[in-house]
Amino acid sequence: MFDNVLQSFDVVSLLIVAIFFLLVGYRPPWWIKKTAKYTSTNVSNIPGPLSLPILGTRWIFTFGGYSCGKIHEFYSDMYKKYGSVMKEEALFNVPVISVFEKQDIEKVLRSSGKYPIRPPTEAIAQIRRQRPERYASTGIVNEQGQTWHYLRTTLTSDLTSPKTISEFIPQIEAIADDWCNLLTQLKDTKGQIDDMHQVIGRLGLEVTCALVLGRRMGFLIPGQESDSAQILAKAVHDHFLAVRDTYFGLPFWKLFPTSAYKQLEQSEETIYKIAMELIETADDSTKESAIFQSVLRANVDSREKTAAIVDFIAAGIHTLKNSLLFLLYLVATNINSQKKILDDHSKNYLKACINESFRLLPTANCLARVTEEELTLSGHKVDAGSVLLCHTGIACRNENNFTNPNNFIPERWLDEQKSITSSNATFLVTPFGVGRRICPGKRLIEQVLPIIVDATVKKFHIKEVTALELQFEFLLSAKGPMAMIFEERR
Ligand code: HEM
């Protein structure tokens, strides 16, 4: 334990940082009692955990009893301890404010202007800035302002177009068939598959690559998972873990390459190389892919095109895997829901299960923004330019917003309950985010999930084996490996 602490909290480095900042004249607010621009009296009154000079509160995830894998539990505990608004401090004691109540979350998300600012993952931005031969900007996920707007409008219009998505449906149906065949091949005599992460990961890869590159990669062919599929799946997983550790851990990566930073560089490199390989080996079907073509045609620097493909692949694979795993788990643990899905030809019950799964277990359980205007949040004035975390996942489990909030009740999305649930859900059940920075993959995923789950439930009676344990991997994920049983229906 002590070894771990020493490893991650290098005393010599800390002293160097402290001496450096004292020499260059930096004085923390608690020292000189001079209020910096970002700390209005009201922000300084927001309660939160102990903040260290310069380093802020990030020590908590290193030796404060919360590992990075349990960050979701940290925020839940902070809500119980401090109430509706809570303040952490990042490097140089810059406040990061968490809001948990519906009215505050709504106020923050509604207040975004033409170019909503989502705080960038700084470590990725740094890596990309150091590779100008490869990246012309930090990419659509991390850019802000006009650059972001230009990338967003030029690179994602086909990805979000209903026409593109409807043309993609036959491919999704074929993928769903292959997925069911793969389950049949992989299950043992009891119908059990031991590692659902791995199997659903293959599906995430196949769907995302089919969408972005327009061709079937064969990730679902039994016994033929290629090396690059495994390498890509691992790289995307490592990428999210390294983003989490550089984002929430002590920020020493800004001074020297920490192991998390090196892991991020390595995974970024791997994803980039595989994406390049896929692009370079584009066959005829790829050349016909609307999304691939729209990226290639876009009036942007060619480096932006590769970066967009990298970002689409990285953004799609893990989110889809986690969302589908949660959905199958909830349907497996609620056996009646499978019968109702089968009986309801309107598919409304299936859609209600998907909404309920996103309410209970959203893989993106928090939306981050930088406010563009001054806001009053639960009585605290927060300056424009403040970093805000909207904890939609926690608000979705608040009984003021949903009755029996911890239970899986798809019926709340149907019939007479529908309108009250939907109005409470606006700004809370936001699995793909909101506003102009909303996920451009939303429409596609909204088509993919019902097709896959419908095909799976029609073919199998699904049962859970392993109880779900949540793990924070920058996204909310299931701690693996998760076993499930798939009994063929007669
Ligand atoms: C279940 C699957 C998915 C989930 C839950 C998901 C969720 C999200 C969320 C919450 C955001 C942030 C939105 C905000 O800040 O308001 C986002 C952004 C983004 N997602 Fe997704 N996503 C999924 C799949 C995909 C797919 C398949 C793609 C691409 C093919 C994709 C590409 C992106 C991109 C490029 C952004 C950044 C958008 C911007 O900043 O303008 N996502 N996603």
CB distance 203 to 321 below 8 Å: yes
Residue 254, number of CB atoms within 10 A of its CB: 14
Q: Quote the ligand 1 centre to 445 CA distance (angstroms).
A: 10
Annotated binding site for heme: 439
CB distance 445 to 320 below 8 Å: yes
Query: Is the CB of residue 445 below 6 angstroms from any atom belonging to ligand 1?
Result: yes
Amino acid at 19: I
Atom of ligand 1 nearest to the CA of 369: 15
Query: Is the CB of residue 367 below 6 angstroms from any atom belonging to ligand 1?
Result: yes
Q: Look at residue 274 in the predicted model and tell me its pLDDT.
A: 86
Q: Where are the domains of the chain?
A: 2-488
Query: Is the CB of residue 208 below 6 angstroms from any atom belonging to ligand 1?
Result: yes
Q: Quote the ligand 1 centre to 431 CA distance (angstroms).
A: 9
Q: Look at residue 142 in the predicted model and tell me its pLDDT.
A: 94
Asked, as a colleague might, if the bond just before 481 is cis with ω within 30 of 0, I would say yes
Q: Look at residue 19 in the predicted model and tell me its pLDDT.
A: 55
Q: In this structure, what DSSP letter does residue 373 have?
A: S
Query: Is the CB of residue 437 below 6 angstroms from any atom belonging to ligand 1?
Result: yes
Say if residue 217 is exposed, middle or buried (CB neighbours under 10 Å; 0-12, 13-18, 19+).
buried
Instruction: Write out the chain's pLDDT in tens, 490 residues.
Output: 444 544 444 555 555 555 555 444 444 544 444 444 444 457 889 999 999 988 899 889 888 889 999 999 999 999 999 999 999 999 888 999 999 999 999 999 999 999 999 999 999 999 999 999 999 999 999 999 999 999 999 999 888 888 888 888 999 999 999 999 999 999 999 999 999 998 999 999 899 888 887 778 888 988 776 777 788 889 999 999 999 999 988 888 999 999 999 999 999 999 999 888 877 776 666 666 778 878 888 889 989 988 898 888 888 999 999 999 999 999 999 989 999 999 999 999 999 999 999 999 999 999 999 999 999 999 999 999 999 999 999 999 999 999 999 999 999 999 999 999 999 999 999 999 999 999 999 999 999 999 999 999 999 999 999 999 999 999 999 997 899 999 999 8
Q: Look at residue 276 in the predicted model and tell me its pLDDT.
A: 85
DSSP-derived secondary structure for 59-114? THHHHSS--GGGHHHHHHHHHHHH-SEEEEE-GGG-EEEEE-SHHHHHHHHHT--S
Closest CA to 456 of 202, 180, 199, 264: 180
Annotated binding site: 439
Q: Look at residue 10 in the predicted model and tell me its pLDDT.
A: 55
Q: Look at residue 41 in the predicted model and tell me its pLDDT.
A: 52
ipTM: 0.99
Q: Quote the ligand 1 centre to 439 CA distance (angstroms).
A: 3
CATH 3.40.1650.10 corresponds to the domain 2-488: no
Q: Look at residue 131 in the predicted model and tell me its pLDDT.
A: 94
Structure tokens at 466: 């392993």
